[in-house]
């Protein structure tokens, strides 16, 4: 039986809109002709291409080699290299422009590959698993991806106790992790087990939406076998935010401006566990991930297994851009030529609410009432307008989890989330403390002129 947990203060109930894709089986993409594989999947420095234009590559062949702080990039499908181009993809909550390798004349299997296990991961010890993950060049498939090996090493070094798999998906429309758990749940569980052992966590929790527990019943046996606890959580946005999730699960709060490792917890998503399993046990890199294609303008909503580097237009051929990349609450708006990457778990064709011009704050207090971190956003907005960064720090602005709730509820349509984020950035600059390279934090941007 899954354990039921409490809830946090604040938060909102947003229309969930998941019905369209909730029960649709995963499909493979068919219509794509060209891939533009981004060379900096985690942001920061781009890997350097090791292939020549005109060269043919097999699926899984190395396309680019990174320095010590990035990951190498591999071909998702077999094809022919055309050129190095520049593309746009979403990392974190912004769009990033980066170099990419264009592949044409694609061939090869576009489905999630099957295969025998070639590595005895069950009896491998943690050191061996970590070494194997180190060779993987995988990235965590979160909003702000991070090389998986770095993520594992950091969690291992922090001696974290709890390993949480965040499969809550509290944003509207998105069902990619849900379908992954339903159709490939056992593989995900093995991936969880691999990563938890590599990290050295004592306790392992899979957090899911309590409305969907029935769909996960087949997972109960493998979960018990691999010693993964289930946590069924009530649907309330933003319970999918790591800090809030940990508060609900462990009753501990991430300190102001800190990260989840500070309270001994490592949080990851099912898609990364799935990819880790495929690499560690089967020796294969998944060159793609599940992407939810949905929205009111989509004729056939689905969850597609999409190779990295597919452009948005070919995934949503019947609806005009702009599209929402990565969920309506934390994603960004993109044009048709933006490509998918590890961070893109949804591509939605929805109409963004027209906001018009923002008017002034009327101090209704709704932003504060609904902020999951209990920040007084109305006051932070004043401080932003007055550029009083120090006061903002005293009021705890660094606690913000950038969930977007305050902007969502504000009747004056003020861009509060962006303002709080800019305050946070200003505070960090003021303190001369570079943003901690935390799980989920983007690389600090080198000031290249």
Residue 91 interacting partner from ligand SF4, other proteins, none (CB closer than 5 to 8 Å by kind): other proteins
Task: Give the CA-trace dihedral at 103, 270, 95, 11, to 10 degrees.
Answer: 160
Q: Does 108 bind other proteins (CB under 8 A)?
A: no
**Cα–Cα distance for residue pair 26/329, rounded to 1 Å:** 24
Q: Does 329 bind ligand SF4 (CB under 6 A)?
A: no
Stretch that binds other proteins, among 159-167, 179-187, 188-196, 370-378 (CB under 8 A): 370-378
* E strand intervals along 175-234: 203-209, 229-233
Site string for other proteins, 169-208 (x = CB under 8 A): ---x------------------------------------
- At its nearest, how many Å lie between ligand SF4 and the CB of residue 139? 25
Residue (of 386, 361, 375, 390) closest to 420 by Cα position? 375
Among 181, 367, 389, 423, binds ligand SF4 (CB under 6 A): 367
Stretch that binds ligand SF4, among 229-237, 254-262, 331-339, 398-406 (CB under 6 A): 398-406
Place of tokens 């080198």: 446
Q: Does 6 bind ligand SF4 (CB under 6 A)?
A: no
Among 142, 144, 154, 247, binds other proteins (CB under 8 A): 247
Interacting positions 261-290 with ligand SF4 (CB under 6 A)? none
Adjacency order of strands within the sheet including 27-28: 27-28, 302-307, 288-294, 346-348, 323-325, 332-334
Interacting positions 26-85 with other proteins (CB under 8 A)? 39-40, 43-46, 48, 67
Residue 353 interacting partner from ligand SF4, other proteins, none (CB closer than 5 to 8 Å by kind): other proteins
User: Which pair of structure tokens corresponds to residue 349?
Assistant: 């064709």
Among 74, 142, 407, 424, binds other proteins (CB under 8 A): 407
Whether 274 and 286 have beta carbons less than 8 Å apart is answered as yes
User: Which pair of structure tokens corresponds to residue 8?
Assistant: 């946090």
Cα separations (Å) of 159 from 59, 308, 439? 37, 33, 15
User: Which pair of structure tokens corresponds to residue 18?
Assistant: 């998941």
User: Which pair of structure tokens corresponds to residue 93?
Assistant: 């909550």
Please, what's the b/e burial string for 255-276 (b: 16 or more CB within 10 A of its CB; e: otherwise)? eebebbbbbbbbbbbbbbbbbb
Q: Which is nearer to ligand SF4, 363 or 425 (CB)?
A: 363
Q: Does 12 bind ligand SF4 (CB under 6 A)?
A: no
Q: Does 436 bind other proteins (CB under 8 A)?
A: no
Among 12, 160, 361, 383, binds ligand SF4 (CB under 6 A): 361
Whether 41 and 342 have beta carbons less than 8 Å apart is answered as yes
- At its nearest, how many Å lie between ligand SF4 and the CB of residue 380? 7
- At its nearest, how many Å lie between other proteins and the CB of residue 204? 24
Q: Does 434 bind other proteins (CB under 8 A)?
A: no
Q: Does 440 bind other proteins (CB under 8 A)?
A: no
Whether 203 and 228 have beta carbons less than 8 Å apart is answered as no
Residue 314 interacting partner from ligand SF4, other proteins, none (CB closer than 5 to 8 Å by kind): none
Interacting positions 2-21 with other proteins (CB under 8 A)? 12, 14
Q: 292: alpha, beta or left, given left = phi > 0 and alpha = psi -120 to 50?
A: beta
Site string for ligand SF4, 422-441 (x = CB under 6 A): --------------------
Among 98, 164, 344, 401, binds ligand SF4 (CB under 6 A): 401
Q: Does 217 bind other proteins (CB under 8 A)?
A: no
Cα separations (Å) of 290 from 157, 163, 180, 340, 409? 30, 22, 8, 10, 30
Residue 147 interacting partner from other proteins, ligand SF4, none (CB closer than 5 to 8 Å by kind): none
Interacting positions 306-335 with other proteins (CB under 8 A)? 322, 324, 327-334
Residue-wise DSSP of 162-176: EEEEEE---SSS--H
Beta bridge partners of 323: 334
What is the number of other CB atoms lying within 10 angstroms of the CB of residue 430?
Answer: 12
Binding site for ligand SF4 (CB under 6 A): 361-367, 371-373, 375, 377-378, 381, 400-406, 409-412, 414, 416-417, 420
């Amino acid at each position: 039986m899954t354990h039921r947990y409490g809830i946090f203060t604040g938060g909102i109930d947003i229309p969930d809109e998941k019905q369209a894709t909730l029960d649709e089986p995963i499909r493979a993409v068919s219509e794509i002709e060209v891939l533009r594989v981004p060379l900096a999947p985690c942001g920061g420095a781009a890997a350097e291409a090791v292939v020549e234009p005109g060269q043919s590559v097999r699926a899984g062949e190395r396309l680019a080699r990174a320095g010590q702080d990035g990951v190498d990039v591999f071909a998702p499908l077999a094809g022919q290299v055309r050129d190095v181009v520049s593309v746009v993809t979403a990392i974190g909550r912004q769009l990033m422009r980066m170099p990419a390798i264009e592949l044409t004349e694609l061939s090869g299997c576009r489905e999630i590959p099957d295969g025998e296990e070639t590595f005895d991961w069950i009896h491998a010890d943690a050191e061996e698993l970590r070494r194997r993950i180190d060779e993987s060049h995988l990235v965590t498939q979160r909003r702000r991806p991070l090389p998986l090996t770095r993520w594992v090493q950091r969690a291992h070094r922090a001696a974290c106790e709890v390993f949480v798999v965040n499969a809550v998906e509290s944003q509207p429309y998105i069902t990619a992790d849900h379908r992954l758990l339903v159709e490939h749940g056992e593989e995900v569980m093995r991936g969880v087990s691999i990563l938890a052992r590599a990290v050295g966590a004592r306790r392992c929790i899979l957090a899911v939406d309590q409305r969907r527990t029935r769909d996960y019943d087949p997972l109960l046996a493998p979960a018990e076998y691999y010693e993964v606890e289930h946590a069924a959580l009530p649907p309330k946005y933003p319970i999918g935010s790591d800090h809030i999730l940990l508060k609900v699960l462990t009753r501990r709060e991430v300190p102001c401006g800190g990260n989840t490792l500070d309270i001994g917890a490592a949080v990851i998503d099912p898609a990364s566990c799935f990819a880790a399993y495929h690499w560690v046990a089967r020796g294969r890199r998944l060159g793609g991930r599940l992407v939810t294609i949905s929205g009111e303008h989509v004729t056939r909503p689905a969850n597609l297994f999409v190779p990295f580097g597919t452009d948005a237009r070919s995934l949503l051929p019947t609806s005009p851009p702009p599209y929402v990349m990565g969920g309506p609450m934390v994603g960004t708006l993109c044009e048709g030529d933006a490509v998918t990457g590890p961070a893109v778990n949804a591509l939605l064709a929805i109409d963004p609410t027209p906001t018009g011009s923002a008017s002034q704050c009327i101090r209704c207090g709704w932003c504060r009432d609904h902020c999951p971190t209990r920040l007084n956003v109305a006051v932070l907005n004043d401080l932003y307008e007055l550029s009083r960064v120090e006061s903002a720090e005293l009021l705890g602005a660094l606690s913000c989890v950038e969930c977007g709730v305050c902007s969502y509820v504000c009747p004056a349509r003020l861009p509060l989330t962006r303002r709080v984020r800019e305050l946070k950035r200003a505070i960090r600059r003021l303190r001369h403390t570079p943003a901690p390279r935390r799980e989920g934090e983007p690389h600090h941007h080198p000031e290249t002129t």
